[in-house]
Amino acid sequence: MTEPFRDPTLPPHERVRDLLARLTTEEKIGLLHQYQRPIPRLGIASFRTGTEALHGLAWHGPATVFPQAIGLASTWDPDLVQQVGAATAAEVLVFHTKNPATVGRNVWAPVVNPLRDPRWGRNEEGYSEDPWLTGVMAVAYARGLAGPHPHRMDTAPTLKHFLAYNNETDRCTSSSHLPPRVLHEYELPAFLPALREGVAVAVMPSYNLVNGRPAHLSPLINDVLRAAAPDELMVVSDAMAPGNLVDPQHYYDDHATAYAHALRAGIDSFTQDDDRAEATLAHLRDALDRGLITEEDLDRAATHILSVRVRLGEFDPEPLRRVDPDTVNSPAHQALARTAARRSIVLLKNDGILPLRDPRRIAVIGQLADTLMEDWYSGTLPYAITARAGLAERTETVFCEGVDRIALRTNEGYLTASADGTPMTITPAPGFGPVAESAAFDLFDWGGAWALRAVVNGRYVSEDENGHLTNDQPGPNGWEVRQTFRWQPDPNGTGVLQHIATGRYVAVGDNNTVTLTPDADSAAVFAIDTLRSGATEAAAIAATAE
């Protein structure tokens, strides 16, 4: 006889209730981590939340990379965005079939934070500053991810990050001031449409605090989000956020208390310590033993989790929908990515030069003209076509980045890089001869944030774990960008360099090494020698083209 929880003809809530009744307390606790434990006696496999799929499957090998979310929203085409979501889901299924333990079907997308401040480092993940457009695109992308079947999802979309998450500095400890009108007219309209439509079945809270309370403890999770969803809603924590409640937020003194309050506030799945679930489960057991949570609290969270697994068809007798492995980066998906990229382009003004009519030679100029930038949630690129490369397929191109090449000189000598990217030094300045290649840097000015690329090896200046400057990075990158500096000039035409990520200053240390210091008075004072003018070079290149 088939167990009721494996009967797809029964309503999901009946199947979940049957399965929950079969579980021991320890088995329920084992479901509450990102890496959910298997239950062999019932034939239930392990389950992993959190496959990144913001604009294509990310981090698991070459897959189709679609335009960033802000580019997808710039198409103003929900049908197209839904197609992108469906293509992403298909590729997730291919990777899941190959490695189900690593690539789960709970996808952490879309991001629906309204982009209220252009200085926020995570704007690249969201759709728009407009909550209505964000809500429309979230519905479209989540519907594509969930798939066309009315009762069985291909993947389980998760909305990120609830709530008021536009903090750049001290993201885990700063508090957003959120008045009721901003909540109801700006924030919630971005989150609620995909929940009300039932196409997003999970939510992730944000790292920050809101009005002094950690977002992971917000009463709005249970009172508003779950009320909006037609079915059970699974709430997953952000990575390491449960531990943040103790340190660095210092909201609770111990983890058992913190995890108990998070569970009761609505957190169902704890994303903590990667795949090492033992500590999290021990804290939850401790909370149960101390009476901080009850069996009913465990049942409630397990119900939310199992509801999503039932809707994914995990316990159904028929197998998972099989997708041809060749679907990944297929010609059809490449064409869809190309269409989305084309439609994402926004032309602000055309003075008559477009469209170009059979040009013989085009000058392609700029810092982004011949590079393809990747973001934190980009997939592994199976191919890359830059603006210059695309134009070069049609006509002759000439190119320059249009950036200045400089040397930074102190009284002791020049800032100097090495070909192998070891810590940088100050070397004595030559007499009247040319500046050595090792002392030359291409200066990229991103609106006041400087990035320096060492000419000697084409790598960017950053800091290492010992606080020394090195030239070993492919460009500004990482969870926190640590390859940018702020120039602070003085009245003498010289100035100091401040490392933006740390607020520390570039200084000369022992043996002419280059370090970072918190003391501005100890900073190295640099003069800038311009070795090559980017504007002059760009003008010369442009003069050779139509």
Instruction: Kindly list the catalytic residues.
Output: 238
Q: CA quadruple 223, 225, 228, 229: dihedral positive or negative?
A: negative
Q: What is the dihedral of CA 34, 38, 39, 43, to 10 degrees?
A: 130
For 387, phi then psi, to 5°, come to -60, -45
- 233 token code pair: 């809603």
Task: Kindly state the helix (H) or strand (E) to which residue 427 belongs, with its residue range.
Answer: strand 425-427
- Contact (CB, 8 A) for 234 and 157: no
- Contact (CB, 8 A) for 121 and 180: no
DSSP 439-490: G-EEEEESSS-EEEEETTTS-EEEE-TTSBEEEEESSS-TTTT-S-EEEEE-
Residue given tokens 């469906």 in the structure block: 86
Task: Kindly state the helix (H) or strand (E) to which residue 220 belongs, with its residue range.
Answer: helix 220-220
- Contact (CB, 8 A) for 379 and 59: yes
For 534, the 3-state DSSP assignment is: helix
Q: What is the largest CA-CA distance in the chain?
A: 91
**C-alpha–C-alpha distance, residues 112 and 190, integer Å:** 6
Q: Residue type for 325, please?
A: P
